Structure formats: C-alpha cells, structure tokens
Structure 1
Amino acid sequence: MDLNLKDKKVFVTGGSKGIGKAIVEAFVSEGARVAVAARTEEDLSLLKDELGKRVTVYQVDLSDVDERGSVFKKIVKEFGALDVLINNVGGSNGGSVMETELVLFKEAMELNFYSAVHFSKLAVQEMKKKKEGAIINISSIFGRESGGKPTYNSAKSAMISFTKSLADEVIKDGIRVNGVAPGAILHPSGNWQKRLDENPEKINAFVEKEIPAGRFGTAEEVANVVAFLASGKASWIVGATVNVDGGQSRSNF
C-alpha cells in the first residue's frame, strides 16, 4: 500500500534502535525525510550509515527540557516544516512501588511522558501553520493494565490519556493525534531478548501462556501500524491508542 508519505518531514524520538529504528526504516521506505533524536552517538552514526541521506541524526538527552527545545528548533530550521511527530523515546527504572525512590518516578515521567507533551506542544505550533499533521505516541499495553515496572506503566498510562485529550483539542486544526501500545516485542537491543538469552525456558513458557498468538511481536509490526496512522489512509482515526500485541493485553477496550 502506498501511504503517500513521500517527502513528508518526520521526527522520531529515540529512533536509533529497537522499535524506534524500525519506525524510522518504515518512513524511509515510504520516501519520507526523517529526523532522529537519541542519546547514544554511536547508535545514531550506525543508523545514518545504514539509511543514508534521508535520515538526519541529532545526539541529545531527551529527558532535558532545554535540549528538547534546542533540537526541535534545529530540526524545523533544517527541514523547513514538520508533518509527522513520533514520540517513541522511553525507558523503565526502579522496581516495586515501595522499593522505588520518588526521584525515579520523576525521571520516568520526564523521559516517557513529559518529553511527549513538550514535543507535541512544539509540533502543534508548527503543524497549525499548514493546517495538517500527525502525532503518534508510543505507549504500552501496560499503560492500561498492570504489568512491568510501576514507573514505566504510570508514565505510559498518562500518555494514553494525553493522546485523547490533545487529539480532541487539535483535530479542528487538521492535526490527528493517535497512539500505539505495543505488547512484548522482541528485538536485539530490547529487554525481552536479554531475558530470552538468560532463561529461554522461562521466557518461552511466558510466551505460550501470555501471548495468544504464540510468539513475540516484531519491531517492524509496530512500525507498520505507526506509518499507517501517520498517513492519510487513517484520516478518520483520532484519539485512539491501538494495541499491537498479538492478543496479549487482557483489556477489552
């Protein structure tokens, strides 16, 4: 399917590896120009070498409010406009609620949630100029139900709510805001690969019990949904957060 994304200007946060990298690759394959911001310079260099001139990379700490503002200005100046924003950057920390210091909850919110709010507000200002645009927020099935680390889950839950709130606010300006909630996704740089390597018997039992599809998802399967939601083919999808999980989620809404 031609998603009509050729020459669209796309910004992906945390796009140097894993799901983020697959999202970048999906947009590049559609002919888009993609700006990628991430923390690790080595990963960004490898990405640039692999994908070439349609990708521009920026090394930045996305948990830092000043660095976020600075990199956004650079991207808009270089690209001249912004058509699509993918808020993908994220990470988990801590353990159970009672053993996790409050500062770790704050750090998780800054990286996973406040970065998305900040970039979305900046992007909306640019997209209003053209009366069109798309914002996709990458959350998690555990933003809707228990599972995983509480710091991460709390931030992703906030992101799902924020997605709907912003979507209803800006659709009148031609800007669509949606989300994608992945389940257990296997990729070389992810935690699931690490766990599988450490204890394959335990993880294979988890897959059999918890994922009705009987396997892990792939980063490419998430990226395909993201690209679709960013395209005009998804013109009547507004404020939704779509599970991409092989049936793993126990939620029925």
Structure 2
Amino acid sequence: MNLNLENRKVLVTGGSKGIGKAIAQAFYEEGAQVGICARNRDDLEQAKQEIGEGIAIFEADITDERKRAELFESFIMAFGSIDILVNNAGGSNGTTIMETDVSQFHKAMDLNFYSAVHLSQIAAAEMKKQKSGAIVNISSIFGRESGGKPTYNSAKAAMISFTKAMADELIGSGVRVNGVAPGAILHPSGNWQKRLDENPEKIKQFVENEIPGGRFGTPEEVANTVVFLASEKASWIAGATVNVDGGQSKSNF
C-alpha cells in the first residue's frame, strides 16, 4: 500500500530509542523528511547512524516549556513547515499510589502528558494554516485499565481523553488527531527487556497468561500503525486510540 508520505515533514519525540526510533525509521522508509528529538545527544547521533543520514536530530528536554518552543522553532527552521507530529516521549516512575509522593505524579504528567499537549497546540496552529496535518499520540493500554505504575497510567489515560477532544476540535480544519495504545513491547532499551533478563521464567509465564497472541509485540508493529494513522489512507479516522497489543488489553472499548 502506498501511503503517500513522500516528503511529508515529520517530528517524532522520544525518537532515539525503542518505539520512537522504529516510528522514525518507518516514516523515513516511506520517503518522509523526519526529525527526532531526545535529551541525550549521543543517543540521537546513534539513532541517526542506524536510521539514515537524512534524519535531523534535535536535543531537547521536552518537560521544559521553553525548550519545547525552541524545539519547534528549530524544526520549522530546518523543514519550513510540519505535516505530522508524533508525541512518543514518555516514561514511568514511582510505585504504588500510597508509596508515591505527589511530586512524582507531577513529573509523570509533565513528561507523558503536558509535553504532548503543548507540542500539539504549537503544531496544530501551523497545520491549520495549511489546512492539513496529523498528530499521533502514543499512550498505552493501561490508559484504559489498571496495570503497571499509577503515575504512568494516569498520564496515559489523560492522553487518550485529550486525543479525542482535540480530534473533534480540529477535524473541521483538516487536522486529524489519533492515538496508539501499545501493550507489552519488547526492545533492548525497554523495561520488558530488563525484566526478561532478570527473571526469564516469570516473564515467560506472564506472556503465556496475559498476552493471547503468545509473544511480546515489536516496536515495528507499533510504528506500522502510527504511519498508517498519519497517512491519507486513514483520512476518516479521528479521535481513535488504537490498541496494538496482541489482545493483551482486557478492555472492550
């Protein structure tokens, strides 16, 4: 399927590793002009070597509002405009609700949610001028049900709600907003790899018990969904958050 993404200008946050890097790679292979951002310069340089020299890299801490604005200005200076924004940056912290200080919830929201809200606002303002564009937000299946760390889950639940609200607000202007909710995805820099290394038998049992598909998902499987949602082939999809989880989620909505 030709997704008609040649020369589309794409920004992927958290694009130096794991799912974000796979998303950047997928767009790059479709002929898009791709920029990735992350905090660590060395990781960005490594990702550029692995994906392709045509990738643009931007070092930025997107939990900082000023740095987000600077990131976007740098992207526009490099590319001239923006067609697609993928809000992928994220991470988890804390433990149980009662053992996690409220400051950790603030940090989780800053990284996983507020950064995406602000970048979406900035990008959408540019997209509305050209009457076209797509935003894809990476949330989690645990944004819809309990599991994992409450700080992370709360932020991803907010992301799913925000995605629908912004989609309804912008679809009339030619800008589509959707999301992807990954389940357990295995990649070298992720938490599942660490758990697998620490206790292979426990993780094997988890997969057998919790993932009907019988294995972990791959970053590429998430990336393929993102690329489709950002393309013209998904022109009548707006406000959806699509599970990519091999049936892991127990939610039926």
Task: Return the alpha-carbon distance in structure 2 between the equivalents of residues 149 and 99 of structure 1.
Answer: 11
Task: Return the alpha-carbon distance in structure 1 between the equivalents of residues 51 and 182 of structure 2.
Answer: 24
Task: Return the alpha-carbon distance in structure 2 between the equivalents of residues 51 and 202 of structure 1.
Answer: 34
Structure 1 unaligned spans of 5+? none
Find runs of 4+ consecutive structure 1 residues off by over 2 angstroms. 50-54
Task: Return the alpha-carbon distance in structure 2 between the equivalents of residues 17 and 125 of structure 1.
Answer: 28
Task: Return the alpha-carbon distance in structure 1 between the equivalents of residues 50 and 204 of structure 2.
Answer: 32
- Aligned residues of 1:36 and 1:58 also touching (Cα < 8 A): yes
2:172 counterpart residue number: 172
Quote how far apart the aligned CAs of 1:40 are: 1.1
2:23 counterpart residue number: 23
Quote how far apart the aligned CAs of 1:2 are: 1.3
The one-letter code sitting in structure 2 at the alignment partner of 1:19 is: I
The one-letter code sitting in structure 2 at the alignment partner of 1:141 is: I
Cα RMSD after superposing both structures: 0.6
2:158 counterpart residue number: 158
Quote how far apart the aligned CAs of 1:47 are: 1.2
Q: Does 1:86 align with 2:86?
A: yes
The one-letter code sitting in structure 2 at the alignment partner of 1:130 is: Q
Quote how far apart the aligned CAs of 1:50 are: 2.2
If the length of structure 1 is used for normalisation, what is the TM-score? 0.99
- Aligned residues of 1:32 and 1:54 also touching (Cα < 8 A): no
1:76 counterpart residue number: 76
Task: Return the alpha-carbon distance in structure 2 between the equivalents of residues 252 and 50 of structure 1.
Answer: 38
2:99 counterpart residue number: 99
1:219 counterpart residue number: 219
Quote how far apart the aligned CAs of 1:54 are: 2.4
SS of equivalent residue, structure 2 residue 53 = helix
Q: Does 1:14 align with 2:14?
A: yes
Task: Return the alpha-carbon distance in structure 2 between the equivalents of residues 60 and 130 of structure 1.
Answer: 26
- Aligned residues of 1:63 and 1:115 also touching (Cα < 8 A): yes
Quote how far apart the aligned CAs of 1:197 are: 0.6
1:135 counterpart residue number: 135
The one-letter code sitting in structure 1 at the alignment partner of 2:209 is: K
SS of equivalent residue, structure 2 residue 135 = strand
Task: Return the alpha-carbon distance in structure 1 between the equivalents of residues 99 and 67 of structure 2.
Answer: 31
Q: Does 1:38 align with 2:35?
A: no
Q: Does 1:112 align with 2:112?
A: yes
Task: Return the alpha-carbon distance in structure 1 between the equivalents of residues 141 and 110 of structure 2.
Answer: 20
Q: Does 1:50 align with 2:50?
A: yes
Quote how far apart the aligned CAs of 1:56 are: 0.4
Structure 2 unaligned spans of 5+? none
Task: Return the alpha-carbon distance in structure 2 between the equivalents of residues 139 and 232 of structure 1.
Answer: 22
Quote how far apart the aligned CAs of 1:129 are: 1.2
Matched pairs, number: 253
The one-letter code sitting in structure 2 at the alignment partner of 1:118 is: H
2:241 counterpart residue number: 241
> % of aligned pairs identical?
67
Task: Return the alpha-carbon distance in structure 2 between the equivalents of residues 215 and 49 of structure 1.
Answer: 29
If the length of structure 2 is used for normalisation, what is the TM-score? 0.99
